[in-house]
């Protein structure tokens, strides 16, 4: 049984005050939430503050990035064991914004996946096609290439207790969400692909959808059997909207 997983990706947003207020507002309502895993990924500099503000709340913390090295002369980088040290459970990797702006390749992302598994953190592996690739009918091919970068080098067992976030690049931050029934087809395709290697791993893997998720499209998204969760960007910065998305997940998936 897969528990719905709702993760808020704050990206490069927030300050001390926003961290405190947003978390305070989320925590007010978390007692009403059952059966879901809820997480937030504030900017790395605020993770410790967020952990303090969460004060034993069930909300889990994620980082938005990790380095491939564990220590050494890598100015500006943060390692997996440092993240673990400050109470982080999940790490978003392969986000299209890092693929584009930081030129992260499938190989680098596979290395990040591997180091997270080694240290005992849970990767949230983002995959998805660009508008051009979609227009060319290459969505499945792109998703498989991004999954294969890990599958072919680390084996299907590496996907045990991990998360895949399908995020069509063209839908991120644009207000243009993919049609939920289309997302379902793609998620089923991804699960079936993993199923061919290992049924148990395919059945437990959490497949999130990300890309302009709001309180308005969450209901239809969570009505799809293979949409196990959502990775929410912009809408996760408003406590009320994020809580509505969580509530919808709880109701639709219970
Ligand atoms: P969005 O971002 O919800 O603002 O589209 C999603 C993401 O990038 O994870």
Structural domains in the chain plus CATH codes: 5-252 (3.20.20.70)
Per-residue pLDDT for 114 more than 90?
A: yes
- To the nearest whole percent, how much of the chain has pLDDT over 70? 100
69 is a catalytic site residue: no
Per-residue pLDDT for 35 more than 90?
A: yes
Which of 212, 217, 230 most suits a substitution to test ligand 1, by most atoms within 8 Å of the C-beta?
Answer: 212
Is residue 233 part of an annotated ligand binding site? Answer: yes
Per-residue pLDDT for 56 more than 90?
A: no
Residue 208 phi, psi (nearest 5): -95, 155
Calculate how far, in angstroms, residue 211's C-alpha sits from the geometric centre of ligand 1.
Answer: 5
Mean pLDDT along residues 4-21: 97
Helix extents (H) in 57-179 = 80-85, 96-101, 106-119, 131-135, 139-154
95 is a catalytic site residue: yes
Least confident of 30-34, 203-207, 213-217, 236-240: 30-34
Q: What's the rounded Cα separation, in Å, for the pair 87 and 49?
A: 11
Mean pLDDT of the chain: 97
Residue of 55, 62, 40 lying closest to 238 (CA atoms): 40
Residue 183 phi, psi (nearest 5): -60, -45
Per-residue pLDDT for 40 more than 90?
A: yes
Distances (CA, A) of 184 to 113, 177, 180, 207: 25, 13, 6, 10
**What digits encode the pLDDT tens for the residues 58-100?**
999 999 999 999 999 999 999 999 999 999 999 999 999 999 9
Calculate how far, in angstroms, residue 73's C-alpha sits from the geometric centre of ligand 1.
Answer: 32
Write the DSSP string, 35-81: S-EEEEE--GGGHHHHHHHHTT-S-EEEES---S-SSSS-TT---HH
Mean pLDDT along residues 135-145: 98
Per-residue pLDDT for 53 more than 90?
A: yes
Task: Specify the residue with its C-alpha closest to ligand 1, atom 6.
Answer: 233
Residues with CB under 6 A from ligand 1: 9, 167, 172-173, 210-213, 231-235
pLDDT at 254: 81
C-alpha dihedral (47, 121, 239, 218), degrees to nearest 10? 160
pLDDT at 31: 86
Per-residue pLDDT for 219 more than 90?
A: yes
Is residue 234 part of an annotated ligand binding site? Answer: yes
């Amino acid at each position: 049984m897969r528990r719905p997983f709702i993760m808020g990706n704050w990206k490069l947003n927030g300050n001390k005050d926003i961290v405190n207020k947003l978390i305070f507002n989320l925590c007010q309502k978390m007692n009403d939430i059952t059966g879901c895993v809820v997480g937030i990924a504030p900017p790395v500099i605020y993770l410790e503050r967020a952990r303090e503000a969460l004060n034993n709340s069930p909300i889990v913390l994620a980082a938005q990035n990790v380095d491939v090295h564990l220590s050494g002369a890598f100015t500006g980088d943060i390692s997996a064991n440092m993240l673990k040290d400050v109470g982080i459970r999940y790490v978003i990797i392969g986000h299209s914004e890092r693929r584009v702006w930081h030129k992260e390749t499938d190989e680098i992302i596979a290395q990040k996946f591997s180091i997270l598994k080694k240290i005992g953190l849970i990767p949230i592996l983002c995959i998805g096609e660009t508008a051009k690739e979609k227009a060319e009918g290459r969505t499945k091919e792109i998703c498989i290439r991004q999954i294969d970068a890990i599958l072919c080098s680390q084996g299907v067992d590496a996907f045990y207790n991990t998360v895949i976030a399908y995020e069509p690049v063209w839908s991120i931050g644009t207000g243009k969400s993919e049609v939920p029934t289309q997302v379902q087809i793609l998620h089923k395709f991804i699960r079936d692909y993993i199923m061919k290697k290992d049924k148990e791993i395919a059945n437990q893997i959490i497949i999130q959808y990300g890309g302009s998720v709001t309180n308005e499209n969450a209901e239809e998204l969570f009505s799809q059997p293979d949409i196990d969760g959502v990775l929410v960007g912009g809408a996760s910065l408003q406590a009320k909207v994020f809580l509505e998305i969580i509530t919808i997940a709880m109701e639709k998936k219970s």
